[in-house]
Amino acid sequence: MISLLAIEASTEACSVALLHKGKQREDFRLLPRAHTRYLLPMVDQILSEEGISLSDVDAIGFSAGPGSFTGLRVCAGVVQGLAFSAEKPVVPISTLQAIAQAEADRLQLSNGDLLLPAIDARMDEVYWGQYRYSHGFAEQVCEDSLRRPESVSLSAAESRVFGFGSGWLYESRFALGRPVNEIHVDAYPRAQAVLKLAKRAYERGEFVVAEQAQPVYLRDNVAWQKS
């Protein structure tokens, strides 16, 4: 039976989840600018609550991005350190897919429903994803992208459409061409969703070694601005 640890820290939220002996548990917290201080203690706590160590885990899944530059660096650094020390494989998962999966697990969806996760990327841009619900999973329709709100569009679709994440604050500037059934701006990626996606990927052999646990920024240049 597979044991997996999952870590997510790409937005203001921070979460850790564990699958062990068929049971799942998750520690989810809103911790703006505090990931560095809390992430490792959260990992230690969830493992100790289950009475296991990192050596008992088969692999580590993590939310690779896109998202907060600082959060992604912290998450990838922690995952690399843990994976190196315990000699465990790593399963990178799209942050946008994790948002879509978390919301899919919350809602009553039908196969074919369109899931549109979006994260505010600052600098008047959004990280944008398109996923389709199929048999319990958020399946990628096209590559995650960084774009201006005005360039967000959809082809005609008969299925229901759901929007999630902070990027939907720009909804009035999207060119969707059709109504959206439900929008949840305060939706966050969760480690429990990463866990579900990572388990499937691991079973398919879709994992990498520790040094390949790299963040996916979707933006080449990082602009630092004073608040």
User: Which three-class secondary structure string do you get for the chain?
Assistant: CCCEEEEECCCCEEEEEEEECCEEEEEEEECCCCHHHHHHHHHHHHHHHHCCCHHHCCEEEEEEECCCHHHHHHHHHHHHHHHHHHCCCEEEEEHHHHHHHHHHHHCCCCCCCEEEEEEECCCCCEEEEEEEEECCEEEEEEEEEEECHHHCECCCCCCCEEEECHHHHHHHHCECCCCCCEEECCCCCCHHHHHHHHHHHHHCCCCECHHHCCCCCCCCCCCCCCC
Residues of the chain with CATH 3.30.420.40: 4-95+189-212, 96-184
Q: What is the pLDDT of residues 124-172, one digit of tens each?
A: 999 999 999 999 999 999 999 999 999 999 866 678 999 999 999 999 9
Cα separation, 183 vs 152, in Å, equals 15
pLDDT at 227 over 60: no
Confidence of residue 51 (pLDDT cuts 50, 70, 90): very high
Report percent pLDDT > 70 for the chain: 95
For domain 96-184, the CATH superfamily is ATPase, nucleotide binding domain (3.30.420.40)
Domain 4-95+189-212 has CATH 3.30.420.40: yes
Cα separation, 121 vs 132, in Å, equals 22
Kindly state the average pLDDT of the residues 117-123. Answer: 97
Cα separation, 159 vs 153, in Å, equals 15
pTM: 0.94
